[in-house]
Structure 1
Amino acid sequence: MYFLERGFQWGKRLMSYEEATAEYNKQQRQPGQAELQAPEGVSESVSAVVYDNESLYSYNDIFIDVRTPNDEKKGVITIFAGGIYGMLIYWFFMFSSVSIERFVSGRQHNGELLTGSDYFSLTLFPVTLLVILGIYLKYTFRFFRLEALTARRIIVRFNRITRKVYLLRPKHLGGILILDWEKTEVLMDKSMSELEGTGGFVVLIWDKGDGVDLQGTPTDHLEMTFVGKPTRNASELLAFWEYIRRYMEDGPAAAPAPKKLLSKFPWPWLSFKAAWGLDTRFFRHSGLWVFVVINVLILPAILIHATGHWLSLLLCYEPRFPRAIEEAGCSASTASAAGGCQDSPR
C-alpha cells in the first residue's frame, strides 16, 4: 500500500513550501538528542561495510533500480474492499436480470400478473444496490487505488552516469521525477547505534528546484522518497545507504552486484512470502521459535493476506520508465565500455 507516498502528497497540498521546510527541519531533531546528525551530503561515508538489503530489481554499470518499503504492505484493502465491490456488483446484476425477466414476461415466479408494488420492488432493489455501490466507491476507491488498478510498484533508479535519481511513480502519487544526486539529503542519523536505531528504510529528501518532471518543469516543493525494504537494525540501515552511495560515488566495484535480484513477476509464492514476513533467522535460534509458532497459529490470516497481495499485483500494471530515461547514460561509447544497459547476470 502506498500509504507513505499518499500521506506525503496529501501533506504537500496542506502545507506551503515554507511550512513544509519548517516541518522537515523539526524532524531533524529527536527527543533527548540535540540534533539529528545527518550525513553532510552524498560524499560522506556512513559505514565501513556495504549491504544491498535484498532490495535491487536491476543492477548494471550504468544504474541500479531499488524497491521501496511498500512491496509487502498491500493486499488487505484489495481483498476486503474488492470483495465488497464484487458482491455488490454481483447482487446488482442478479437482481437486474430477475427484474428484466419479470418485466418482459409481466408475471411473477408463480405465474400471477405483476402488480404495481411488484414493479416498484423490482425497480427499487437494483437501483438501491447501484446507489450503495456508488457511495461505497466514492469514499473507498481512493484507498483501493493505493493497492490495485495502479502501478504494481514504485522504483527508484540511481544512474551513476547522468548523476540523477529517477522516481518512477503513478501520477496520483507525484509522477515521474528526475532529481539531482548531488543535492540529495538523507534523513538518517549517521551516528546511530543498535541501541538508538532499530533499522527502518532510507528516506531521501530534495529541496525545491532540485529536480524536474518529464516536461522539464522544476519542482516547486520538497520531494521525498522511501528506499529499500525495512532493515532490521541500525547497522543494516547505514550499510544499505552506504551501498547506494558507493555505487554512485565510487562505481560498481565498490558496491558489488547482489547475488540475486528481485523478481518483478507476480508469482503467488512471492506474495505468500511477503505476507508471511518471517525472518529466516528465527529458524536458526531456538529462543526465537515462539515467533514461528505464532505465525503458524495465524496462518489463515496470512493466507488471506497473501491472496489479497497476489490479487493486488494481478490488478496492477508493471510500470516502465520512458525511453529517454531508459537510455539515459547509455551512449554508444558508454554502452560499449560498460557492456550496455543490461542487468548483470543473477
Structure 2
Amino acid sequence: MYFLERGFEWSKGLMSYEEATEELNKKQRQPGQAELQAPEGVGESVSKKAYDNGSLYAYNDTFIDIRTPNDEKRGVITIFGGYIYGMITYAFALALIVSTERFMSGHQHNGELLTGSDYFFLTLFPILWLMVLGVFLKYTFRFFRLESLTARRIIVRFNRITRKVYLLRPKHLGGIRIMDWDKTEVLLDKSMSELEGTGGFIILGWDRGDGVDLQGTRTDNFEVTFVGKPTRNASELLAFWEYIRRYMEDGPAAAPAPKKLLTKFPWPWLSFKAAWGLDTRFLRHTGLWVFVVINILILPAILIHATGHWLSLLLCYEPRFPRVIEDAGR
C-alpha cells in the first residue's frame, strides 16, 4: 500500500541532502523534452473549476483532511503473506503438540518405547519450523507492514488558519511533519493533456527547513507527500488542486464542503468496492459495459483481493493527530 512513501524514504537514505541537491542541479532538460509548467507557488490558479475529487475525510472552517492515492492498493500482500505465515505457524504448532504428546507418553504411535533418535527428531522438528517462521519474518515482514500492522491510512491535513500542512504518517514512513503552506511546491503540469491526468494525483514537496517535526526540529531533507485518489483526466486533477488552493487561500466559501465525506470505518463492502476497481459511473455508457463483464469473469480473484483488503484494514490501527495539532487554529 505505502509503496510510494516507502520508496521515497528509501531514496532519502541513498544520498545526503547536499548530494541530492547537486544531482538535481546537474540535470538538464533533454532536446525535445517538454518543460514542466508547474504553478508559480500556491497563489496561482490552475483551473476555473474546483473539485473535491471525493477524497476528503473531514471538512470544517479550520481544516480539511485528505486521503492519499494508496488506499485501494492493499490486500494482496496480506492475504498471501498471512496464508504463508499461518501455514508455517500451523505446522509448528502441530509438530509441537505431537512432540509434547510423545514426550509425555514415552511411546511411539505404535506403542513402542521412544528411542534416542525419536527424542532427537521430536525436538528437532518444532525447532526447524520455528526457524523457518523466523527466516520468513526476517526477510518478508517489512513488506507485510506496507499494508498491515501499521497505520490504516496516511492523512494530509490542510489548516487554513495556521497555514500549515500536517502529514500524519507512521514513523517508518517519515513520521508526523508540520510543513509551511506558503513554501509548498506543487509537482503538477498545468499544460498536461487529458490522457496524462488519467490515474494522476497531486504531489507536494518541500525543501529542507520548510517544516518541523513534533518537537519543533527543522526538517533536514526534502519532504514529499501524495494527495488524493487517482483522477480520471487532467481536468479533474487540476480542479482538485484548485479546490485545495482555494480553500487555503480564499476560504471555505470558495471551496464548499463535499456532499459526502469518506468514512474511516472498515466496512467489508467498501473493501469489495476497492478491489472491484470499477467506477460505477461507467454504467451510464453502454459501450463501457464490457469492463463489467470482464470484472464478473474474474470475480473469484476480486473476492480474494477484497478479503485481503478487509483483513489488512482490520490488522491496522486508526491513526490520530496529536492534541497539539487537533487544537491548532481553533
Q: TM-score range by the shorter chain?
A: over 0.9
* 8 A Cα contact 1:79 1:307, kept in partner: yes
CA offset at residue 31 of structure 1? 8.1
- Alignment deviations for residues 52-106 of structure 1 (CA, whole Å, 9 cap, x no partner): 0000000000000000011101000001001111111111111101101111111
Separation in 1 of the partners of 2:52 and 2:28? 26
Which residue of the partner structure matches residue 100 of structure 2? 100
Structure 2: runs of 5+ lacking an equivalent: none
CA offset at residue 281 of structure 1? 2.6
Structure 1: runs of 5+ lacking an equivalent: 331-346
Output the amino acid matched with 1:235.
S
* 8 A Cα contact 1:198 1:234, kept in partner: yes
Q: 1:284 to 1:193 in 2, by over 3 A?
A: same
Which residue of the partner structure matches residue 261 of structure 2? 261
Which residue of the partner structure matches residue 118 of structure 2? 118
Which residue of the partner structure matches residue 204 of structure 1? 204
Which residue of the partner structure matches residue 39 of structure 1? 39
Which residue of the partner structure matches residue 237 of structure 1? 237
* 8 A Cα contact 2:166 2:179, kept in partner: yes
- Alignment deviations for residues 278-298 of structure 1 (CA, whole Å, 9 cap, x no partner): 011321111111111111111
Separation in 2 of the partners of 1:194 and 1:59? 28
Q: How many residues align?
A: 330
Q: 1:189 to 1:20 in 2, by over 3 A?
A: same
Which residue of the partner structure matches residue 279 of structure 1? 279
- Alignment deviations for residues 152-186 of structure 1 (CA, whole Å, 9 cap, x no partner): 00000000000000000000000000000000000
Output the amino acid matched with 1:140.
T
Q: 1:72 to 1:195 in 2, by over 3 A?
A: closer
- Alignment deviations for residues 118-148 of structure 1 (CA, whole Å, 9 cap, x no partner): 1122112111111111110010000001111
TM-score, scaled relative to structure 2: 0.97
Deviates further, 239-248 or 13-22: 13-22
- Alignment deviations for residues 307-333 of structure 1 (CA, whole Å, 9 cap, x no partner): 000000000000000000000000xxx
Which residue of the partner structure matches residue 182 of structure 2? 182
CA offset at residue 25 of structure 1? 6.3
TM-score, scaled relative to structure 1: 0.92
Q: For 1:230, what is the secondary structure of its paired residue?
A: coil
* 8 A Cα contact 1:207 1:223, kept in partner: yes
Which residue of the partner structure matches residue 65 of structure 2? 65
Structure 1 segments (4+ residues) deviating >6 Å: 25-28
Which residue of the partner structure matches residue 169 of structure 1? 169
Separation in 2 of the partners of 1:183 and 1:283? 42
Identity %: 83
* 8 A Cα contact 2:197 2:232, kept in partner: no
Which residue of the partner structure matches residue 250 of structure 1? 250
Output the amino acid matched with 1:44.
E
CA offset at residue 30 of structure 1? 8.2
Separation in 1 of the partners of 2:31 and 2:246? 31
Which residue of the partner structure matches residue 151 of structure 1? 151
Which residue of the partner structure matches residue 53 of structure 2? 53
Q: 1:301 to 1:138 in 2, by over 3 A?
A: same
